[in-house]
């Protein structure tokens, strides 16, 4: 699960909660212009690149200014209620532009589109087109339908669509790091989650199409890829003749072998599926980052059962032990939900004790938000008060800050290999980049080095989650 509105923004791997706004491209005269914003999970950012690719073939260029757009899309998730509120407010802003731009087409893409299709189109009349995650190829036809005076919708889910044949348009890219989607959908029925209903069943991309995309990125100068899936550990692809079978460990190896200079990350793993083979593959290849995002959600086995996570506290700790044994310095992050249905103070204490045992580098932390249509909404009462949820969440955040600082301070005095991403947000005299363990590292600019270079950085001090040091030449 990849979440939008985080109580903690320590972990910035996927720029979650921020808008992805398309960069300006070369625009031909009279070419139609597309403006798209993405919020939430990395899958949404990746999907927006697919949308841009499909519409570029239909004569659209992208623009960073929604005031000059012919088509405006918001691509977002439907995991938390405040995410939906934010999107509605944004759509109202865009709708106001229609007073001066009568031909403007406004649409919603992705998971929220699938879930709130009739409300957006009919009840609130905020949009002209609603398109689900499996229907992006139909966008040119849907836009034509709207231009002809009709509302348009396609939220049909697919058991086959992976967009494997498309070359994503890299949007808002630094030219260094890129997302590569390896699968779509989810077969896990976590009781709190809408993803299986909005993104459909799991299907994996052709492994060779993934390797080709990574190879193309390498040839274009990229230095890092993040393999994306709701549950990457369940990746399984079989060739049409049945002779070739690739699981996630095999895929990791295939991608790692593209080039030793191409860093490989992935998100997200599921505790029930991550295998020794995957962990050992990470340990085997230097260019596979020693970092795993392993959502725990709760430290209590009874609550995990209600969540339908299909593992226990003991199983989760077994996976943590395996990671620590095979990759001793592996960075581990997690997701934690406070105040799930029937959670008691004792259950909450078990979550805190889980955090103490693992001491995560980073965490996505949020209080439970009931989503209509989910198994939890149908079967359980959301009986933990908002005030108590918030109190428990604050305790989780406070403890995680201690652990993040502890994990960062361990790195002081060590040399980290860092991929320079660009200038620090605060100063043009400092570079920033991520370490193998996914810490953000800040260090002074040194002549002769530039974004895209790997450098060795001696860590001299830290903030709560950021390492600060100097290049060792």
Distance CA 107, CA 72 (A): 6
CA distance 255 to 11: 24
Residues 470, 456: Cα–Cα separation, whole Å: 8
Q: How confident is the model at residue 12 (pLDDT cuts 50, 70, 90)?
A: very low
| Three-class DSSP labels, the chain | CCCCCCCCCCCCCCCCCCCEECCCCCCCCCCEEEEEEECCCHHHHHHHHHHHHHHHCCCEEECCCHHHCCEEEEECCCCCHHHHHHHHHHHHHHHHHCCCCCCCEEEEECHHHHHCHHHHHHHCCCCCEEECCCCHHHHHHHHHHHHCCCCEEECCCCCCCCCCCCCCCCCCCCCCEEEEECEECCCCCCCCCCHHHHHCCCEECCHHHHHHHHHHHHHCCCCEEEEECCCHHHCEEECCCCCCEEEHHHHHHHHHCCCCCCEEEEECCCCCCCCHHHHHHHHHCCCECCEEECCCECCCHHHHHHCCCCCCHHHHHHHHHHHHHHCCCCEEEEEEEECCCCCCHHHHHHHHHHHHHHCCCEEEEEECCCCCCCHHHHHCCCCCCHHHHHHHHHHHHHHHHHHHHHHHHHCCCCEEEEEEEEECCCCCCEEEEEECCCCEEEEECCCCCCCCCEEEEEEEEECCCEEEEEECC
Q: How high is the pLDDT of residue 297?
A: 98
pLDDT band at 13 (very low <50, low <70, confident <90, very high): very low
CA 160, 161, 162 angle in degrees (round to 5)?
A: 115
CA 84 to chain centre: 17
> Over the stretch 319-365, which tens digit does the pLDDT of each residue have?
999 999 999 999 999 999 999 999 999 999 999 999 999 999 999 99
Where residue 16 falls among pLDDT bands split at 50, 70, 90?
very low
pLDDT for 6 beyond 70: no
Q: Are strands 263-267 and 224-228 parallel, antiparallel or unpaired?
A: parallel
Calculate the average pLDDT of the chain: 88
Nearest to 63 by CA among 19, 32, 91, 102: 32
Task: Give tens-digit pLDDT for 109-164.
Answer: 887 776 666 676 665 678 899 888 888 999 999 999 999 888 888 888 888 888 88
Tens of pLDDT along 374-422?
999 999 999 999 999 999 999 999 999 999 999 999 999 999 999 999 9
Worst-scoring range by mean pLDDT, 18-32, 64-78, 121-135, 323-337? 18-32
C-alpha angle 28-31-35 in degrees, rounded to nearest 5:
110
Given a contact cutoff of 8 angstroms between Cβ atoms, the answer to whether 320 and 281 are in contact is: no
Residue 167: other Cβ atoms inside 10 A = 13
Q: Half-sphere exposure (CA, 13 Å, Cβ side) for 107? A: 35
pLDDT value of position 122: 67
User: In the beta sheet, which residues pair with residue 331?
Assistant: 291
24 — pLDDT class (breaks 50, 70, 90)? very low
pLDDT tens digits, one per residue of 411-443: 999 999 999 999 998 899 999 999 999 999 999
Specify the range with the lowest mean pLDDT, choosing from 51-60, 353-362, 382-391, 460-469.
51-60
216 closest CA partner among 182, 255, 244, 162:
255
Q: What is the pTM of this model?
A: 0.84
Instruction: Provide the pairing of β-strand 105-109 with 71-75.
Output: parallel
Distance between CA 185 and CA 235 in Å, rounded?
A: 11
- Contact present, 55 and 139 (Cβ < 8 Å): yes
- Which pLDDT value is given to residue 15? 35
pLDDT per position as a tens digit, 202-238: 999 999 999 999 999 999 999 999 999 989 999 999 9
Query: From CA 120, how far away is CA 93, in angstroms rounded?
Result: 14
Q: Return the pLDDT at 151.
A: 87
- Residue 112: per-residue pLDDT: 74
The pLDDT, as a whole number, for residue 117 is: 67
Render pLDDT for 241-281 as a digit per residue (tens, 0 to 9): 999 999 999 999 999 999 999 999 999 999 999 999 999 99
Query: What pLDDT is stored for residue 314 in this prediction?
Result: 98
Residue in 230, 215, 205 with CA at minimum distance from that of residue 264: 215
Grade residue 20 by pLDDT with cuts at 50, 70 and 90. very low
At residue 30, the pLDDT reads 55
Closest CA to 153 of 107, 195, 104, 210: 107
312-321 mean pLDDT: 98
List of domains in the chain: 20-154 (3.40.50.12160), 177-410 (3.80.30.20), 415-471 (2.40.50.140)
């Amino acid at each position: 699960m990849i979440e939008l509105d985080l109580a903690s923004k320590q972990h910035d791997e996927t720029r979650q909660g921020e808008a992805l706004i398309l960069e300006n491209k070369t625009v031909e005269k009279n070419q139609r212009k597309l403006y798209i914003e993405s919020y939430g999970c990395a899958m949404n950012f990746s999907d927006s690149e697919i949308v841009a690719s499909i519409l570029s073939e239909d004569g659209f260029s992208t623009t960073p200014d929604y005031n000059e757009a012919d088509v405006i899309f918001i691509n977002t998730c439907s995991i938390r209620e405040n995410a939906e509120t934010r999107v509605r407010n944004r759509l109202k802003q865009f709708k106001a532009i229609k007073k001066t731009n009568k031909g403007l087409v406004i649409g919603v893409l992705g998971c929220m589109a699938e879930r709130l299709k009739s409300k957006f189109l009919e009840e609130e009349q905020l949009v002209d087109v609603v398109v689900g995650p499996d229907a992006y190829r139909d966008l040119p036809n849907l836009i034509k339908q709207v231009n002809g005076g009709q509302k348009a919708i396609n939220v049909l889910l697919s058991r086959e669509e992976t967009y494997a044949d498309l070359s994503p348009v890299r949007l808002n890219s630094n030219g260094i790091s890129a997302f590569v989607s390896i699968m779509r959908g989810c077969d896990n029925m976590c009781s709190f989650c809408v993803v299986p209903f909005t993104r459909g069943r799991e299907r994996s991309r052709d492994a060779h199409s993934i390797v080709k995309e990574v190879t193309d990125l390498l040839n274009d100068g990229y230095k890092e890829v993040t393999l994306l899936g709701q549950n990457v550990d369940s990746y399984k692809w079989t060739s049409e003749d049945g002779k070739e079978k690739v699981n996630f460990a095999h895929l990791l190896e295939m991608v790692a072998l593209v080039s030793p200079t191409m860093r490989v990350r992935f998100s997200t793993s599921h505790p029930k599926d991550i295998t020794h083979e995957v962990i050992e593959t990470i340990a085997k290849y230097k260019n596979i980052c020693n970092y795993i995002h392993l959502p725990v959600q709760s430290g209590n086995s009874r609550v995990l059962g209600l969540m339908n996570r299909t593992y226990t506290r003991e199983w989760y700790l077994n996976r943590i032990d395996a990671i620590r044994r095979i990759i001793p310095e592996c960075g581990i992050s997690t997701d934690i939900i406070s105040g799930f249905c029937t959670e008691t103070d004792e259950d909450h204490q078990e979550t805190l004790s889980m955090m103490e045992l693992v001491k995560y580098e980073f965490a996505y932390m949020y209080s439970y938000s009931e989503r209509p249509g989910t198994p939890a909404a149908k079967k359980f009462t959301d009986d933990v008060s908002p005030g108590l949820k918030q109190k428990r969440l604050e305790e989780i955040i406070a403890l995680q800050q201690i652990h993040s600082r502890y994990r960062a301070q361990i790195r002081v005095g060590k040399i980290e290999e860092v991929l320079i991403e660009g200038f620090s947000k605060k100063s043009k005299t400092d570079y920033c980049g991520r370490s193998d363990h996914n810490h953000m590292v800040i260090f002074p600019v040194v002549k002769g080095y530039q974004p895209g270079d790997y450098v060795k950085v001696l860590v001299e001090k830290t903030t709560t989650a950021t390492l600060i040091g100097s290049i060792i030449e």
